[in-house]
Amino acid sequence: GTDGDFSELEALVERVPNAALGSSRAAVNEGWRPHDDQIGQTGAKIAPEIYIPAGISGAVQHMVGCKGAENILAINTDPEAAIIQKADWAVIADLHEVAPAIAEELEARGHSE
């Protein structure tokens, strides 16, 4: 399975200036990401220009951590996910397909650092 594989998201983050990779509590609990990456009520509070939650359900605790975001672009396979309702833009798709496509497009446009 692709659970715990953040390589595609890391590759995307590398192409976006001033970007960082955050995480959900679930990913931290599984040992996939360090606690420093966790966004939420018991994690970091973030206020970026744009926040791209990929495969995040949108639990209340998580939303507390990212409510400072100016824009939210959600990527999720579930159109009923809470995060989709709260997002400014939504892509209903698998993040493992979308992240590489966005990274390729950014590279094509010369946006890599």
Q: Is 54 helix (H, G, I), strand (E, B) or coil?
A: strand
94/63 Cα distance (integer angstroms): 21
pTM: 0.84
Q: Which fold has domain 6-109?
A: Rossmann fold (3.40.50)
Residue 74's H or E segment, with its range, is: strand 71-76
pLDDT in tens, 28-82: 999 999 999 999 999 999 999 999 999 999 999 999 999 999 999 999 999 999 9
pLDDT in tens, 22-35: 999 999 999 999 99
Q: Name the token pair of 25.
A: 């509590």
Q: Where are the chain's structural domains?
A: 6-109
